[in-house]
Structure 1
Amino acid sequence: MRIELLAATFILCCVAPTWSLAQQDVSPIETIGTIEILDPAADSLIDSEAKIERLATGFKWSEGPVWISEGGFLVFSDVPQNTVFKWQEGKGLGVYLKPSGYTGEPIENREPGSNGLALDGEGRLLLCQHGDHRVAMMDAPVTSPEPKFITIAGDIDGKTFNSPNDLTVHSSGAIYFTDPPYGRPQGFDDPDRPLDYQGVYRVMPGEPAQLMTKELRAPNGIALSPDEKTLYVAQSDRDRPLYMAYPVQDDGTLGTGRVLLNVKRLADERPGSADGMKLDSNGNLFATGPGGVLIISPEGKHLATISTGDRIANCAFGDDGHTLYMTSNHDLCRVRVKAKGLGF
């Protein structure tokens, strides 16, 4: 399912002179892709002429970006390489954390590393670790990373998770996360996985995890609305790729979900599936999916697509909140947007 490494070395790119945030003293970088406006409402969220910039390439499957405001840099996973990379303006690319998702002896696993990343309310790095089958916290400051981890959630009722994929953090400290089997050596058919379903969970650090729903075959990306009253979950199932919206109850559990947007028709025409997502401050979803990052209104209307020209896994707002960083298969990309990311 993953496109193999296209280059033996990473290609570090410089800053385009049109980029408004930082240094202007280097040669232009490559711009790629297109912006497709589908509804006039998108005009307030992104410029149709915005340039998508490729910052680095050569990854096996880039995933789970998160902006570290304390240090002014982006970190993101390369799941097959069991590595978290760091990209910083003016400094380029480097290894941030290795191993990132599997800390045991070498095994046969195509995707052993970390996947989704997030920061908790105290700015500590949380990781969905495929190979170790858990949600963990890095036991070190984000500016001085070390491969030391504390387990936040490793099992449900004594049964090891499949391979936690993505997560989002509630202001209460609760962590919601998804658990498809993509990090298992044989995926859905892996004989060693103790769970016969794929769940969405909630966990308060120091407490047992709670199953929220197991109705989705392939739960993947996950995010909370600005008012934290809705939990969005992407399903990356080939036959039914969609984005779900679940009401969050006062006790943190979920009510009956509704389909926000089904993208099956789009998936039949374009590469990729429903995957990671982030929200802007007005509740619009920037959701990776078939053809790129889909901008979706809170009502479920597809407003625009940011297309890198390749399959895309996840995205995150960074810098001043108006930069969207995108992990697109073997690339790390970015684009300036008019929308402002939630939390900035």
Structure 2
Amino acid sequence: MRTQQLFPLLLIGLLAACQNTDNGQSGDPADTETMDTTATYATTGSIERLSPKLDAILPTDARIEILAEGFEWSEGPLWLEDQQMVIFSDIPNNRINSWKPGDQQAAVYLEPSGYTGETGRGGELGCNGLLLDPEGKLVLCQHGDRRIARMDALLDAPKSEFTTLADNWQGKKLNSPNDAAYHANGSLYFTDPPYGLEKRMDDPGKEIDFQGVYRIDPSGKLHLLTDEITRPNGIGFSPDGKTAYVASSDPDKAIWMAFDVNDAGDFENGRIFYDVTDQVGQAPGLPDGLKVHSNGHIFATGPGGVYIFSPEGEKLGLIRTGEATANCAFDTDEKTLYMTADMYLLRVELE
């Protein structure tokens, strides 16, 4: 549902709330309104429930709310607890947006965000994945600048001033860092597919002949963990830190990989965690960003929306957004899941 349609529906939603308290599972896109303490939002999509185990994760009346829209390609949501807001990338527009509960639209948080050069260029030049380092500083996967960088400014006074954490492998420029996650061992792990290059795999500026998954150790040294995933994308860790999950957004091999993390912090025993190659084209999207809940369940974007897996690899359900869904993030208490899906910022409440 478009933004201009939301305001006339506010009154309708309030009247309906007085007459009907049934919060049944959502069905057709944008067919109902839901309430939080300060605003009403249109809803979209549906929840596909494949196991009764999902009831302990998603309420039976869970709905997908449209919080903001109009972005070219939204990515990398991150909840900022002190600011009580979520920030997220709009990659082609080279900016980060912010949204606070109760708002009816997003605001610009940081611009430029991923490309700070002076030469004009196209493609996916903004930042992608966002996360906080152990000191609470914002870390960005910058497509245009082809690096992992840390914002020098404070979160409540953002500025496009950055310190490079990694931008090359053995003297060769990285492709375009995509997503990242910190491990309890203090290392920062990140993926490096070609999506930020204007011509991707055929870009003349591509200096590395593979797509890697890397680790920046606490001393700042860069380690290559694997070069065997054709399009490494989202990355996350099991709560005990012993397993790493990596998405591959290759349409010909649309999978999630699992790796053991050894005592040195490197990957071992790579295996396919789940394969959705046969679903490619049947619903929008590919394996992309992912987050791991503290209970071990994996929330992973893929064809159709956000898949919810048990740690054993059982598919428990699917949050069908109706859009190509790029990434997701929990708030601090893990009661809300924020999702970036094409032009939308979405939300679903969890148990």
- Specify the SS of the correspondent of 1:273: coil
Q: What is the distance in 1 between the residues matched to 2:37 and 2:318?
A: 28
CA deviation profile, 1:265-296 (whole Å, cap 9, x unmatched)? 22242111000001111111000000000001
The whole-number CA distance in structure 2 between the counterparts of 1:128 and 1:12 is: 33
For 1:38, the aligned partner's letter is L
Deviations 1:207-262 (A, max 9, x none): 23110000000000001111111110000001110111110000111102110000
Q: Distance in 1 between matches of 2:201 and 2:183?
A: 29
Task: Identify the residue that residue 269 of structure 1 maps to in structure 2.
Answer: 282
Residue 200 of structure 2 aligns with which residue?
Answer: 187
Could you list the per-position Cα deviations for residues 125-181 of structure 1 after superposition, in whole angstroms to 9, with x for gaps in the alignment? 000000000000000111111110000011110111000000001123210000000
Query: Which residue does the alignment assign to 2:55?
Result: 43
Measure, in 2, the Cα distance between the counterparts of 1:158 and 1:11: 52
Q: Residue 30 of structure 1 aligns to a residue in which SS?
A: strand
Normalization by structure 1: what TM-score? Answer: 0.91
Are positions 1:123 and 2:136 aligned together? Answer: yes
Q: What is the deviation of 1:106?
A: 3.6
CA distance in 1, matches of 2:69, 2:228: 36
**C-alpha deviations, 1:27-53, integer Å up to 9, x for none?**
x32110000001121111112321110
Kept after mapping to 2: 8 A contact 1:11/1:56: no
Q: Does 1:224 align with 2:247?
A: no
Are 2:34 and 2:41, in contact at CA under 8 Å, matched by a contact in 1?
Answer: no
SS in 1 for 2:267: coil
How many angstroms apart in 2 are the aligned matches of 1:11 and 1:232?
39
What's 1:72 paired with? 84
Residues 96-111 of structure 1: matches in 2 within 5 Å?
96-111=109-124
Partner of 1:257, secondary structure, is: strand
Distance in 1, Cα, partners of 2:280 & 2:156: 39
Greater Cα offset, 197-206 or 243-252: 197-206
Aligned to 2:248: 235
SS of equivalent to 2:55: helix
Task: Look up the match of 2:21.
Answer: none
Check conservation: 2:6, 2:42, Cα contact below 8 A. Answer: no
Offset of residue 319 of structure 1 = 5.5
Structure 2 residue aligned with 1:257, among 259, 270, 285? 270
For the Cα contact (< 8 Å) 2:35–2:41, is it kept in 1?
no
Indicate the residue corresponding to 2:321 in structure 1.
308
Equivalent pair of 1:120/1:173 in contact (CA under 8 Å):
no
Q: Structure 2 CA distance, aligned partners of 1:247 and 1:286?
A: 19
Unpaired segments ≥5 residues, structure 1 = 1-5, 339-344
Identity %: 47
Structure with the largest fraction of helix: 2
Distance 2:6 2:97 in 1: 13
Q: Which residue does the alignment assign to 2:228?
A: 215
2-structure distance, mates of 1:257, 1:66:
28
Paired AA for residue 86 in structure 2: L
Taking the aligned partners of 1:180 and 1:328, their CA distance within structure 2 comes to 20
Secondary structure at the counterpart of residue 236 of structure 1: strand
**CA-CA distance at 1:108 after TM superposition:** 2.4
Specify the alignment match of 1:289 in structure 2: 302
Secondary structure in 1 matching 2:286: coil
Residues 1:318 and 2:323 aligned together = no
Separation of aligned partners in 2, 1:10 and 1:128: 33
- Pair 197,10 (structure 1): closer, same or farther in 2 beyond 3 Å: farther
Partner residue in 2 for 1:56: 68
Unaligned runs of 5+ residues in structure 2 are 18-32
* Aligned twin of 2:94: 82
Letter in 2 for 1:115: N
Comparing 168-177 with 87-96, which one deviates more in the overlay?
A: 87-96
Distance 1:311 1:106, change over 3 A: same
Q: Distance in 2 between matches of 1:206 and 1:118?
A: 19
1:276–1:288 contact (8 Å) kept in structure 2: yes
The answer for the alignment partner of 2:146 in structure 1 is: 133
TM superposition score normalised by structure 2: 0.89
Contact kept in structure 1, 2:173 and 2:208, CA below 8 Å: yes
Change (3 A) 1:189 1:141: same
